[in-house]
Amino acid sequence: MPRIPSDELAQRRERLREHAPDGYVLFEPDAIRYFTDFWFLSNERPIAYVEPADGDAFVFVPEFEVERTRSEAAFPRIESYPEYPGVEHPMLVLGRLLGSIDRIAADSDGYPGILGYSGPPLSAVTGADVRPLAGQIDAFMRVKSAAEVELIRESGRWCAYAHRLLQDYTCVGVSEGEVSLRVAHEATQAMLRLGEFGQLGSADGVKAGYRGQIGTRSSWAHAIAHGIVFEPGDLLVSETGAPVWGYNAELERGMVIGEPDDRVKWMFEHVVAAQQVAFDALQPGVTCADVDRAVMRYFEENDLMPYWRQHTGHGIGLRNHEAPFLDVGDSTVVEPGMVFTVEPGVYDAELGGLRHSDTVVVTDGGIEVLTEYPRDLESLTLPL
C-alpha cells in the first residue's frame, strides 16, 4: 500500500502557499503530516515545518531528531535546537531563523501547550502579524484525493478483519479487556507480517473492542472501558480502527449475546433503517445538515426521539474525527471525495444501545461504503 505520492504533497503545499504568500509555519502534527508526510512523536519539544516568503523551506526539530529526520524524511534543510526548555527557548531559536518579517501565516500562534509545554507565541518572537491558517487547512483536508481514499479503504479492510476476530473471541465469562488486547495484538501482527505497511507510519496499531459499551452501558454513546465481563443478553456496541499511514476508517456494529428478544429486534430494525436513510440522503450538493435532518425526521416519524443521543456522523481521514459533521448545525455542502462515518444509533437506558458505523466516500452519484461488513441481526448475534 503506497503512501501519499510526493507530487501530491508538493501540490498541497503549493495550494497552501496561494493562501499564505507571506510564508507559513505549521506546528500541529496532523497538519505537518498532511503537507509533508513527516512522522514524529509529538511531545513537549516543539517541531515545526516552515515555508518562509523568501528562502528555503525547512523543518525545525530538537537536535536528537536530526539524524532520524535526515534518514527517514526528504527535507533539504533541517534546523534544530539543543533541547526544551533549554538555555535559550526553542521558540526564540525559531524566531531568529525566521528573521525580520512583518506578516506570516500559521496553524496556531506558537506551539500548542501539550505535555507541560509553555512558551512565547510566534507573534511575540517574530514581531509579525500572524494570520490564522487552521480553518483553511481543515477545508483542504475535507475532500480526499484518490490516494487518500485508497488508504482509508485499506484501513476499512483491516477494521473488518479485526471485527471478525472480535466477534469470534467475545463470549460469556470473558472480559472486554481480554478480548480487546487479544484482537489488537493479532490484527496488528497480521498487518506487520505483510511488511508493506511499515507499521503504518503511526505509533498506533489496530484497535478493537467495546470501550465499555456493554449491557446497559451500551446506551452511553461514549462510554469508557472497565474490564466488564460479558453476560448472556448483553447488548454490545463495538469499535474498530486500523490506521494505514495515518489514515483511518471506522467500523462499529451493534450486537447481542444470545437470542434477541422482540425489543432488541425492534431496536435493531430501526438502527439499520436509520443508517439507510442517511446513506440515501448523503450525496453531492446537499448539506451536512440535510443528511442529519433526514435521519431526525425518521426518528420523529417513528417516535424514536427518546432514544436519540447524537448526530449522524463526522468526517474522518488523517484524524479520527474531522470536519465537517453530519449535524443539523453544519451547513457545509457535500462534495465528491468527502469521507464520513455514518452512525445513527438507538439508545434505551433500561436495555442498552445499538449503533452501526460505516465509513463512506461521497462519489459523483452518491456514496461508496468503504467498510464492508454485515449489518443484519442474524450475523451480529453472538452465540452463548
For the chain, strand residue ranges (E) read: 23-26, 48-52, 58-62, 78-81, 103-106, 129-132, 207-209, 235-237, 239-241, 254-257, 313-315, 322-326, 339-342, 345-348, 352-355, 358-363, 366-369, 381-382
CA atoms of 295 and 303, how far apart (whole Å):
12
Helical axes 134-142 vs 29-36, angle rounded to 10°: 50
Q: Is the pLDDT of residue 131 over 90?
A: yes
Q: Are 104 and 130 in contact (CB under 8 A)?
A: yes
- Domain extent, residue 37, equals 6-141
Residue 247 sits in the same domain as residue 167: yes
Q: Does 250 reside within a domain?
A: yes
Confidence of residue 321 (pLDDT cuts 50, 70, 90): very high
CA atoms of 228 and 243, how far apart (whole Å):
26
Tell me which of 117, 141, 165 is where a domain ends: 141
Mean pLDDT throughout 366-373? 97
Q: Does 170 reside within a domain?
A: yes
Q: Which residues contact 65 (CB under 8 A, 6 or more apart)?
A: 40, 47, 80
Q: Is the pLDDT of residue 49 over 60?
A: yes
In this structure, the strands spanning 352-355 and 207-209 are unpaired
Residues 105-129: pLDDT tens digits? 999 999 999 999 999 999 999 999 9
Tell me which of 88, 110, 141 is where a domain ends: 141
Q: Is the pLDDT of residue 1 over 80?
A: no
Residue 223 sits in the same domain as residue 129: no
Q: Does 193 reside within a domain?
A: yes
Residue 213 sits in the same domain as residue 332: yes
Helical axes 176-193 vs 146-169, angle rounded to 10°: 130
Domain tally, the chain: 2
Residue 344 sits in the same domain as residue 321: yes
At residue 245, the pLDDT reads: 87
Residue 284 sits in the same domain as residue 152: yes
Q: Can you give the CATH number for the domain in which 196 is found? A: 3.90.230.10
pTM over 0.85: yes
Q: Does 269 reside within a domain?
A: yes
CA atoms of 290 and 21, how far apart (whole Å):
36
Q: Does 33 reside within a domain?
A: yes
Tell me which of 123, 141, 159 is where a domain ends: 141
Residue 78 sits in the same domain as residue 164: no
Q: Which residue has the cell 497538519?
A: 31
Mean pLDDT throughout 63-85? 96
Residue 219 sits in the same domain as residue 111: no
Residue 173 sits in the same domain as residue 298: yes
DSSP tally for the chain: helices H, then strands E? 10, 18
Q: Is the pLDDT of residue 196 over 50?
A: no
Q: Which residue has the cell 465499555?
A: 212
At residue 2, the pLDDT reads: 73
Helical axes 262-281 vs 288-301, angle rounded to 10°: 150
Residue 73 sits in the same domain as residue 187: no
CA dihedral 359, 200, 75, 53 (to 10 degrees): 20
Q: Is the pLDDT of residue 216 over 90?
A: yes
Residue 151 sits in the same domain as residue 122: no
Q: What are phi and psi of 196, to 5 degrees?
A: -70, -10
Residue 113 sits in the same domain as residue 215: no
Mean pLDDT throughout 256-260? 97
Residue 199 sits in the same domain as residue 240: yes
Q: Does 1 reside within a domain?
A: no
Q: Does 229 reside within a domain?
A: yes
CA atoms of 136 and 19, how far apart (whole Å):
8
Q: What percent of the chain has pLDDT over 70?
A: 97
Q: Is the pLDDT of residue 9 over 60?
A: yes
For residue 58, what is its C-alpha cell? 525547512
Q: What percent of the chain has pLDDT over 90?
A: 89
Count of all residues that appear for the chain in the document: 384
CA distances from 99 to 18, 25, 175, 320 (A): 22, 13, 58, 37
The DSSP annotation for 149-193 comes to: HHHHHHHHHHHHHHHHHHHHH--TT-BHHHHHHHHHHHHHHHHHH
Q: Does 342 reside within a domain?
A: yes
| Average of per-residue pLDDT values in the chain | 94
Q: Can you give the CATH number for the domain in which 135 is found? A: 3.40.350.10
Beta-bridge partners for 235: 256
Three-class SS state of 133: coil
